[in-house]
A and B are shown apart, each in its own frame.
Chain A
Amino acid sequence: MNAEEVVRGLLSGNRRALARAITYVENEYPESKEIMKQIYPKTGKAHVVGLTGFPGVGKSTIVSKLTEEFRRRGKRVGIIAIDPGSPFTGGALLGDRLRLDGMDTRKPLWTDPGVFFRSMSSRGRAGGLAAKTGDVVRLLDAFGFDIILVETVGAGQSEVDIIEVADTSVVVLMPETGDEIQVNKAGILEIGDIYVVNKADLGGAEKVERWLQYMLSLDEESVQMLSQMTHADEARLASGEFFERRKGWNPPVIKTVADRGEGIRELADAIEEHFEYMKKTGLIDKRRRERVKRELFEIVMNDVIKLVKEKTDYREMIMKLLKGETDPYTAAEQIVEEVIHNAGKE
């Protein structure tokens, strides 16, 4: 399939074309740029929901149950599930599809024409996502899914890239994953629009729930404290901007027992409420503006690096660096000048 066939197929609802488009984009085939250009105007309608949390807390199971719930509500669901790629061999075991068992239908959910599931390897990238997650989200969006669920790699404390692609971020925890110091650490526990305590039938769920409530109450106090400060230092401004992400939204804490489907309806409600809230308050535009800016910068950066590779003697510069004849800052300045000078020339 060439770019045009892929685009035509994708926009007319052909799953094969969608599957192919993802492959092209994920592997950065030359066709991928043309595909992204052409589908871009059709994007921006879907609600992108990110699910993140430590390995084994039940993200895949929640994704499966949420998919069933949203299907009952008449929504079409696209799913991207990311598992880690080996930094040593480049290989990956993508095991999230396994959980899509379908409690009600007794058939795996991917046989439902209103569901599309794709496994991706992070391919050694840190941050919890695959490099091309944002573009794959756009492909699913253009295809016409109402909700796109993005399941991150089982994340550690600082894998927070999900906020760069999701409208709504759901952070999943389970009992016995830490104490009140853990929940107040920076990183993954700051980013939730919704918090889930899964496996709530195990002992200790209430404790985690209480600590999360406590953490969130401190968030509110922080906002007040920051707004009363007159000293405009950087940390204060940055914090202000961070809390502005929520704009008065109080993240709910929801207890679930995902494999039995308990709490899933409440979670789906909260996800829909958050989307409505963001649309009502204009928060969604703000978040999407941030996202578009990041996407743009990333594309520009890639293009510039490509130019550097094509149009400059960067290899010579590397040799000079190795010999100690220059330093990286001077070298970079010279390369940038050279790029600007040579960019227009063929």
Chain B
Amino acid sequence: MEKKIRVLVAKVGLDGHDRGAKVLARFLRDSGFEVIYTGLHRTPQEVAMAAVDEDVDVVGISLHSGAHLTLVPKVINYIREYGGNPEEMLILVGGIIPTDDIAELKKMGVDEVFIPGTPISEIVDFIKKKLPEKRKGNER
């Protein structure tokens, strides 16, 4: 039986804009993924614990607050702290992210950053293409 791809869609920090996250969750559902939405105003610990307990393959973090360089690495570190392995997950970031910060986020362990205007099909294709590559060499 083929494993279903599980995606956590998370809003981190003080930012109340979840329209994008909800729309994304809906389209990921229609692309055949199992999508878990955490709700607004989550702390990095809360998101990390949910990601580990739900044993997701993809963590999508949405931020519009400008705090991405602070909060995103925290999520990744907490996933590790709670026993998860961010190396075998895809870590995606979406929202208002200045272009200059994208390289910085990638250095921190983010696999890709999607800024407003990205067609959803691009995100779906990215997950389907990159997830097997990332899993390769890592345990299941």
Question: A16-B84, A92-B29 are known contacts. Are A97 and B36 too (CB-CB below 8 A)?
Answer: yes
Please determine whether A22 and B30 come into contact, CB atoms closer than 8 angstroms: no
A111 on the B face (CB < 8 A):
yes
Q: A14 to B45, Cβ gap below 8 A?
A: no
Q: For window 71-125 of chain A, which residues contact chain B by CB distance below 8 Å?
A: 85-86, 89-95, 97-98, 101, 107-108, 110-111, 116-119, 121, 123
Q: Which residues of the other chain, B, contact A108 by a CB distance below 8 angstroms?
A: 38-39, 42, 46, 50
> Does B35 sit within 8 A of A, measured CB to CB?
yes
Residues of A within 8 A of B33 (CB): 91-92
Query: How does the 8 Å CB contact mask read for A257-300 relative to B, with 1 for contact and 0 for none?
Result: 00000000000000000000000000000000000000000000
- State whether A110 touches B49 (Cβ < 8 A): yes
Residues of chain B within 8 A (CB-CB) of A89 are 29-32
Contacts of B46 in A (CB 8 A): 107-108, 110-111
How big is chain A's contact interface, by range?
Answer: 20 to 34
Tally of A-B Cβ pairs under 8 angstroms: 91
From A113, which residue of chain B is reached at the shortest CB distance? Answer: B49
Interface size class of B (residues with CB under 8 A): 20 to 34
Q: Is B126's CB within 8 Å of the partner chain A? A: no
Known: A90-B4, A98-B39, A107-B46. Is A19-B32 also a contact (CB below 8 A)? no
Task: List residues of B whose CB falls within 8 A of some A CB.
Answer: 1-4, 25-26, 28-39, 42, 45-46, 49-50, 52-55, 82-84, 139-140
Interface of A toward B, CB cutoff 8 Å: 1, 14-16, 19-20, 22-23, 27-29, 85-86, 89-95, 97-98, 101, 107-108, 110-111, 116-119, 121, 123
What are 25 inter-chain pairs, A to B, with CB distance below 8 A?
A: A14-B83, A15-B83, A16-B84, A19-B53, A27-B3, A27-B4, A85-B34, A86-B32, A89-B32, A91-B28, A91-B30, A91-B32, A91-B34, A93-B26, A97-B54, A98-B37, A98-B38, A108-B38, A108-B42, A110-B46, A110-B49, A111-B46, A117-B53, A118-B54, A123-B4
